[in-house]
Structure 1
Amino acid sequence: MQPKVLLVDDDPGIIQLVQRYFDLMLATYGLLTADSGGAAIAQLQNDPDLILLDVNLPDTDGFALTSRIRAVTSVPIIFLTARVTDADKVRGLGAGGDDYVTKPFSLAELGARIQAHLRRASAPKKRAQIAAFGDLIINYSAQQVTVAAQPLALEKKQYDLVAFLSLNPGQVFSREQIYEKLWGFDAVGDDRVITEHIRRIRQTFAQAGAQCPIDTVWGVGYRWQN
């Protein structure tokens, strides 16, 4: 089946440029387009495999739109933006984004990132199906974490972080190692986003009345307590 990429951008020039690039260099991919947040949500019914998302849209903020998208799908999201501050990177990745491409961008780089994310998203995963840690149950096939039978509202990357650490209990990983594992070696971003994700994970566990098993090893990194 032909992979589909959804481009969300209100600049007709960007849309035409990317469309021509797909026609010439990524002809095996289908390109869907949307020029607003509302149109992007409507395009989700076409099941895109990856989303290219402009941060500045006429009817919504791209980061807020990411949260709405994440309620529907976990496909990779690559931000297209002129914003390059650390605060914006943390906010975007924390909202559920996977990567950044800064405008103006190289089409060759954009194509390489699209292909890399689609390869990772489609790679088979060999792992346990369910793990139990007392009242905490992780269903890896359903990508769901429950405490006392109540599902936790974890964002995609937060679930990925919980899954990765829980599959390697007792092993300490640095922020850099976790970032490379979850975002890939070629990702653009800042490993400090790991600290923010873990803070939010712990907050979610606390709201559920449970102790988060992710332990901080000061000066080293994080580990999953058995």
Structure 2
Amino acid sequence: MAETVLLVDDEREIVAFMRDALEDEGYRVLCAYGGEQALELLSRKPDVVVLDVMMPGMDGYELCAAIREEASCPILFVSARRSEEDRVLGLMAGGDDYLVKPFGLREFKTRIYAHLRREKRDRAASDRFLRFGRLAIDGKGREVRLGETEVPLTAREFDILLLLALHPSQAFAREDIYERIWGLEADGDSATVTEHVKKIRAKLSAADAACNPIATVWGVGYKWQA
């Protein structure tokens, strides 16, 4: 099945240029010309997002942060802004790469391919179906169920749960979890991990009050205890 690329840029000629190049390589391409339209297309589960920085309304950095709340796929910025500060802002917002306009088609397609190849390697490790009593975690489908009840987790909540479940009994420091899930360049701190774990526990408990697989390791962080 062809991978799906979401292109987000308010310049329609540039979108058409990138779309044609990617479709020639066999990719399925979705096109958005602003932030709201891009967020609506996330339901189509793109495998990679290509995102401009300078757009009217919601700019690329704001949009990237919003996408990161819903999806963990690679995000590649393409922008005419070329300073080091712009690159850093893109990475801190949750981006994985930054390509300066104008760019060559060969480099553009190669970067898309490289990010998708890395995603396939990562998925090979996480695309596992894990079961702990009544708790089932579908790594490929990114779903969590307690018996017949689906537990609705955000993208980052799911990533935290899966990380811990794949390494039972291993204690993870909050800082380590933050770096693995948010990235080394993320603009925040490990306190957000605590808040996400609280939400995960609350959602699991709402489905089954006896389900509490995430243990607190005092002075360290968390581990999977199921």
TM-score (ref. length: structure 2): 0.61
Q: Is the 8 A contact 1:49 1:75 kept in 2?
A: no
**CA deviation map 1:62-112 (0-9, x unaligned):** 3796389x4xxx561528597x89xxx6xx7xxxxx536689899799989
The answer for the alignment partner of 1:95 in structure 2 is none
Structure 1 unaligned spans of 5+ = 93-97
Q: Of 91, 95, 98, which residue of structure 2 is paired with 1:99? A: 95
Q: Distance in 1 between matches of 2:142 and 2:213?
A: 17
Q: How many residues are paired up?
A: 207
The answer for the alignment partner of 1:118 in structure 2 is 116
The answer for the alignment partner of 1:158 in structure 2 is 157
Structure 2 unaligned spans of 5+ = 80-85
Q: Distance in 2 between matches of 1:48 and 1:126?
A: 18
The answer for the alignment partner of 1:217 in structure 2 is 217
Q: Is the 8 A contact 2:47 2:74 kept in 1?
A: no
The answer for the alignment partner of 1:62 in structure 2 is 63
| 1:99 alignment partner, SS class | coil
Q: Of 180, 186, 189, which residue of structure 2 is paired with 1:189? A: 186
Q: Distance in 1 between matches of 2:195 and 2:171?
A: 18
Q: Is the 8 A contact 1:5 1:50 kept in 2?
A: yes
The answer for the alignment partner of 2:34 in structure 1 is 36
Cα deviation for residue 37 of structure 1 reads 4.3
Amino acid at match of 1:140: G
The answer for the alignment partner of 2:199 in structure 1 is 200
TM-score (ref. length: structure 1): 0.61
Q: Does 1:52 align with 2:53?
A: no
Q: Distance in 2 between matches of 1:45 and 1:219?
A: 39
Q: Is the 8 A contact 1:206 1:212 kept in 2?
A: yes
Cα deviation for residue 170 of structure 1 reads 1.4
Matches within 5 A, 1:120-159: 120-123=118-121, 124-125=124-125, 128-133=128-133, 135-159=134-158
Q: Is the 8 A contact 1:56 1:62 kept in 2?
A: no
- RMSD after superposition: 4.7
Cα deviation for residue 174 of structure 1 reads 1.7
Q: Is the 8 A contact 1:100 1:188 kept in 2?
A: no
Change (3 A) 1:62 1:146: same
| 1:142 alignment partner, SS class | coil
**CA deviation map 1:151-199 (0-9, x unaligned):** 1001223222212211222110123433444456xx5315524334323
Of residues 195-204 and 167-176 in structure 1, the stretch that sits farther from structure 2 once superposed is 195-204
Change (3 A) 1:116 1:99: farther
Q: Does 1:178 align with 2:174?
A: no
Cα deviation for residue 38 of structure 1 reads 5.5
| 1:171 alignment partner, SS class | coil
Q: Distance in 2 between matches of 1:207 and 1:161?
A: 18
Percent pairwise identity = 33
Q: Does 1:78 align with 2:75?
A: yes
